[in-house]
């Protein structure tokens, strides 16, 4: 057998602990798969003497060090699971320049500065692998980067944040308001104490940028992603979605599109109504799924656990075996593919269907005025549903935050639910402004995009 490969682990938190344990527990099998043994030479942490569950009292404790730089120097493979931009970026670049291959789970860094890492890896002739950075355990980076390398991806629709999927699922199944569901997610350890990165869609936007770069052979950074989180989604939105045969999901969307004659791509993250018949609607709890539409392959769906120590470690160790095999047998994995350099089109040019809920005066001619406002902006109505007095059939208030409407005589209020045909986002924004200005419209209660239809 060739000489053992020296593996340096940066970070020993949720993911790092599981990577270290599995490296130790499955050492013999991993050696057989790689063609030589993987020797964990050290684990860099902030405080090497602090007690750690799963590490203290095991042989792994002796490997802890707070000198990450010294650990990186001399390693054959560096596994970065510390997270954050710095010092992760500097350490990864140091590893690459020293000739080590790198495996990272760091979506934030890749979405902000991926090209710098790719370029360094290319110059040094080493591998940069990152399966764990998108949708944890689910193989999606490799399928898009390799299995679909001969196809033309048209669209990627992903549920790539487990925390928000759990929150929306609890709102749908238990009728919880967002705040209660987020508290539950925190109690279960899905959401952080500060849930902003998940709830406001930043985590999903980083993953969307990475997926879009791979799918469309184009550099896409997190700054190119139009982002809207789930903080405005109410229990009433979720109930109305259910009544119309939809489920609300936070989607990461990357698609080919044309705007003003320019062919490019659009990348966005926002809550959307997904028809119950679509496979993404059935993704429950904290699970993730990525739905890919490709020219020749057709529709594909990748499903599984997008987070958690052991599932994420599975993706890391798969990458580790791959890059280690390259060091044993020669050769390299894929390098950055950004030849297409497609323009990232403005977010307001995206074409989608919309569902708009309105409280209007319940009297003759109102529907005609509403329809005229849509027609004026070239937005075509697919369906209209009306319920009198703003209350749902089951007798509960269907809105919950329209204080103005509640103060008026409820008998002269009608709730309209309009579904549009596909329309450009900017036309819809203009339509909503026009509807808000109409005297007969009391409140535009919610506007939600419909995807996957």
Ligand X SMILES: N[C@@H](CCO)C(=O)O
Ligand Y SMILES: NC(=O)c1ccc[n+]([C@@H]2O[C@H](COP(=O)([O-])OP(=O)(O)OC[C@H]3O[C@@H](n4cnc5c(N)ncnc54)[C@H](O)[C@@H]3O)[C@@H](O)[C@H]2O)c1
Say whether 425 counts as a known binding-site residue.
no
104 interacts with ligand X by CB under 6 A: no
d(CA 292, CA 271): 18
Q: Which of 63, 79, 121, 136 is the binder for ligand Y (CB under 6 A)?
A: 136
3-state per-residue secondary structure call for 219-264: CCCHHHCEECCCCCCCHHHHHHHHHCCEEEEEEEEEEEEEECCEEE
15 interacts with ligand Y by CB under 6 A: yes
CB of 143 to ligand Y, least distance (A): 17
Q: Which of 16, 195, 390, 452 is the binder for ligand Y (CB under 6 A)?
A: 16
198 interacts with ligand X by CB under 6 A: yes
Count CB-CB contacts under 10 A for residue 339.
7
**Is 119 noted as a catalytic residue in this protein?**
no
Q: Give kind and range of the element (H or E) at residue 288.
A: strand 287-294
83 interacts with ligand Y by CB under 6 A: yes
Say whether 249 counts as a known binding-site residue.
no
Nearer to ligand Y, 312 or 352 (CB): 312
CB of 149 to ligand Y, least distance (A): 24
User: Which range binds ligand X by CB under 6 A, 33-41, 159-167, 326-334, 419-427?
Assistant: 159-167
Nearer to ligand X, 111 or 272 (CB): 111
d(CA 311, CA 15): 9
265-299 burial, b for 16+ CB within 10 Å, e for fewer?
bbbbbbbbbbeeebebbebeebbbbbbbbbeeeee
Q: Which of 76, 131, 203, 425 is the binder for ligand X (CB under 6 A)?
A: 203
> In the range 287-346, which residues lie near ligand X by CB under 6 A?
306-307
Say whether 153 counts as a known binding-site residue.
no
Say whether 320 counts as a known binding-site residue.
no
The single residue of 6, 119, 183, 207 carrying the catalytic annotation is 207
Count CB-CB contacts under 10 A for residue 124.
18
216-240 burial, b for 16+ CB within 10 Å, e for fewer?
bebbbbbebbbbbbbeebbbbbbbb
135 interacts with Na ion by CB under 5 A: yes
SS3 90: helix
> Among ligand Y, ligand X, Na ion, none, what does residue 46 contact (CB within 5–8 Å per kind)?
ligand Y
User: For residue 443, what are its two tokens?
Assistant: 């409140």
Nearer to ligand X, 106 or 446 (CB): 106
d(CA 190, CA 181): 11
Binding residues for ligand Y, total number by CB under 6 A? 22
> Among Na ion, ligand X, ligand Y, none, what does residue 163 contact (CB within 5–8 Å per kind)?
ligand X
> Shortest CA distance to 200 belongs to which of 221, 177, 225?
225
**Maximum CA pair distance of the chain?**
85
CB of 88 to ligand X, least distance (A): 15
> Could you list the active site residues?
207
Q: Which residues are annotated as a binding site for NADP(+)?
A: 10-17
Binding-site residues sit at 10-17, 107, 192
Residues near ligand Y (CB under 6 A) are 11-16, 44-46, 68, 81-83, 87, 105-107, 132, 136, 307-308, 312
């Amino acid at each position: 057998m060739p000489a053992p490969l020296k593996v340096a682990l940066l970070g020993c938190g949720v993911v790092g602990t599981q990577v270290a344990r599995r490296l130790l527990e499955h050492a013999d099998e991993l050696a057989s798969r790689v063609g030589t043994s993987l020797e964990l030479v050290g684990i860099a942490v902030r405080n090497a003497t602090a007690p750690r569950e799963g590490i203290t009292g095991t042989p792994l404790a002796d490997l802890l060090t707070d000198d990450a730089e010294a650990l990186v120097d001399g390693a054959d493979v560096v596994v970065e699971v510390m997270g954050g931009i710095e010092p992760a970026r500097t350490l990864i670049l140091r590893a690459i320049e020293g000739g080590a291959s790198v495996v990272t789970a760091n979506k934030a860094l890749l979405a902000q500065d991926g090209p710098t890492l790719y370029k360094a890896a290319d110059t040094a002739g080493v591998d940069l692998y990152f399966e764990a950075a998108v949708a944890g355990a689910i193989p999606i980076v490799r399928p898009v980067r390799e299995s679909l390398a001969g196809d033309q991806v048209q669209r990627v629709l992903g549920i790539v944040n487990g925390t928000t999927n759990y929150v929306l699922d609890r709102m749908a199944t238990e009728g919880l308001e967002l705040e209660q569901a987020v508290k539950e997610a925190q109690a279960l350890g899905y959401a952080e104490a500060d849930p902003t990165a998940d709830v406001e869609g930043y985590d999903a936007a980083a993953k969307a940028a990475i997926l879009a770069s791979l799918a469309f052979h184009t550099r896409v950074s997190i700054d190119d992603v139009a982002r809207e989180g789930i903080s405005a989604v109410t229990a009433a939105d979720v109930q109305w979605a259910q009544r119309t045969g939809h489920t609300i999901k936070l989607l990461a969307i990357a698609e080919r599109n044309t705007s003003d004659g320019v062919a490019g791509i659009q990348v966005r993250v926002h809550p959307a109504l997904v028809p119950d018949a679509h496979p993404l609607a059935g993704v429950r709890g904290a699970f993730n799924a990525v739905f890919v539409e490709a020219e020749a392959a057709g529709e594909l769906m990748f499903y599984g656990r997008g987070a958690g120590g052991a599932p994420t470690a599975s993706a890391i160790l798969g990458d580790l075996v791959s890059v280690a095999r390259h060091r044993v047998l020669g050769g390299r994995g894929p390098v950055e593919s950004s030849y297409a350099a497609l323009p990232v089109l403005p977010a307001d040019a995206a074409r989608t269907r919309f569902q708009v809920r309105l409280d209007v005066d319940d009297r003759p001619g109102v529907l005609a005025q509403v329809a005229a406002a849509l027609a004026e902006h070239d937005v075509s109505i697919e369906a209209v549903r009306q319920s009198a007095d703003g209350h749902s059939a089951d007798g509960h208030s269907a809105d919950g935050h329209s204080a103005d409407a509640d103060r008026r005589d409820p008998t002269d209020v009608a709730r309209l639910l309009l579904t549009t045909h596909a329309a450009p986002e900017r036309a819809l924004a203009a339509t909503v402004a026009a509807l808000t200005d109409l005297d007969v419209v009391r409140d535009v209660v919610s506007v939600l995009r419909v995807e996957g239809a």
